[in-house]
Chains A and B, each alone.
Chain A
Amino acid sequence: MKFFEEKIFRFLMIVATLVVFGFVISIIWTIASRGWGAMSWDMITKLPGGGFYIGKEGGFLNAIVGSLYIVGASTILGLLISIPVVFYLNVYLKKKSKFAYIARLAYDILFGIPSIVYGAFGFTIMIYLGLRTSLAGGIIVITLLIIPIFIRSMDEIAREFPRDILDTTYSLGATRYESMRVVLRQIAPGIATATLLSVGRAIGDAAAVMFTAGYTDSIPTSLSQPAATLPLAVFFQLSSPVKEVQDRAYAAALVLTLIVLILSIAGRFITNRFSKNKLQ
């Protein structure tokens, strides 16, 4: 009897794992087959002609450039803020510090807060500051959104860092600030994976930029102009009744999926390489 049960559950588990696989393949296949038909060189090199909602010509270069601006700027800002925080948690604070415990809990919570809430919150701040939907607003909100991801995924690696090495540097007379260089070199692959993870999250998020960056047909030339983004290019253009515009949405979805796939595979690759020569 117990062996029979064993067999049944073993079978169910394999089915469940295959189902997970099936979902991945189904999603990528659906997006790729629908998007490939709509894809052309014009799509990624031209601005939409005659309005993004009804105009039949052109592509979605505005969204590609807008996304690059927002993601690039917020990744740099995010790194500048989160690297010091990770160092503070792991080098300056003691291993069993109460403050570090609360900080980690808070970042986990921030990580769990939905991006639509970030968007709504960012929107209220922008109104308070007198800003309109703009590139700057988008950058600020996306930075806030990815900081917890940065911190928690780098912290995960930094916590594994052996404290003995720190003690060795101290015994050689280095200050904590100076021993950071050693830590930095050791967790560099961790920083790289965290960056890829954050970029993936930043480029795919629609709910936060909807309120704050807005949407436009053109490429922003200053921080105070609204900016289009890839996820919103998919979302808004899909709701258009015009077939050519919908095609633009499917092509944009394909581009977005490809970017995320590349980031995800690269992240896995770096983790695997890193874990091979990890210090024991």
Chain B
Amino acid sequence: MNIRILKDRTASGVMFFLTVISLLLVFVMGIGLYLKSAPVFEEHTLKELLFSANWKPMKGQFGFLPFIMGTIWVTGIAVAMALPIALLTAVFLTEYAKSYVRKYVFPALDILAALPSVIYGVWGTLLIVPWISNKLAPHFVDFSTGYTVLAGGIVLGIMILPLLVSLFIEIFSSVPAEFREASLSLGATKWQTTKFVIIRKTMPGILAAVVLAISRALGETIAVLMVCGNLPEVPRSLLDSCYPIPALIANNYGEMLSLPLYEAALMFAALILFVVVLFFNVISRVVLYRLEKTFN
């Protein structure tokens, strides 16, 4: 008898330990990245690092503005492209489609979500980059390699589609059927019900899902590295090359060891990503949890 209770207690202790250890990872990660990037703060102010466009690591100048702007551009295009498609698809699947349609679309979304980033990158270089370079860009500029902000945005947009659609579907199906019935019985069409009841009721959730998708897009590395062109300049148009933060980290991991300050600067880049993603995730998850509670 005692042995059984002892086993139960031990198991409880071990499990609690494993849970706490894995939770601490969030803090350890933040602290580790901060300590590693600390040297760069000694020589530069935060303002200088974030808002200067001077990127000359060999001379000790680390202005992250080109990379920050590159990330914002690419992410912005990705969200602008993915949001309407994801919203329409999710409404179609939850409100309109028969179950056999879902049987085909869900596996397709699964596949889209499962494909590795490097495969998206290969697809982008084989299809999107030549298309921009040969078909699209000649209408606007004399010459473009195709490795542009736009290519990065398109590829990233497709990568965040499955996440957005599955979050939207989850959110929309949490709205109780009575809401829909009440609206339909007043003579509203299905689209009017969707527009005035479902979307309005779930607005915080939709925004949270978008923020979550943004934070996913911010961290994508290999795919944008392969299609964005990687020039450390602030992009001026959709057909300029850009250099998002994750690509910067991935591209320079070999060289950075030779210069201690360079390594610190790259760790600072990782820290920026970490902090922004952490912040976005906490907000949107808390909103989504709340939403789940209100309807249940």
Contacts and interface: CB of A to CB of B under 8 A. Distances in A.
A177 interface: yes
Interface footprint category on A: 35 or more
Interface stretch (A52-60, A181-189, A264-272): A264-272
Contacts of A101: 289
Contact of B32 (A24, A114, A125, A261): A125
B177 interface: no
Interface string A29-54: 01100100000000000000000000
Given A5-B189, A204-B117, A92 B122 contact: no
B108 interface: yes
Contacts of A207: 117, 221-222, 246, 250
Main secondary structure of the interface of B (DSSP, over half): helix
A257 B111 CA distance: 10
B126 to A, nearest CB: 5
A157 interface: no
Interface stretch (B3-11, B40-48, B72-80, B135-143): B3-11
A105 B286 contact: yes
Contacts of A3: 189
A153 to B, nearest CB: 12
A219 interface: no
Contacts of B219: 113-117
B281 A108 contact: yes
Given A114-B273, A253-B119, A16 B23 contact: no
A166 to B, nearest CB: 14
B161 interface: yes
Contacts of B92: 13-14, 16-17
A103 interface: yes
B122 A175 contact: no
B184 interface: no
Interface string B221-236: 1100010000000000
A68 interface: no
Contacts of A27: 112, 115, 119-120, 123, 158
A267 B89 CA distance: 22
Interface string A236-274: 001000000000011001001100110111011000000
B221 A116 contact: yes
A82 B19 CA distance: 8
Given A105-B286, A120-B33, A144-B25, A9 B191 contact: yes
A20 B109 contact: yes
Given A17-B101, A84-B15, A114-B219, 5 more contacts: A23-B161, A85-B18, A88-B15, A109-B282, A117-B219
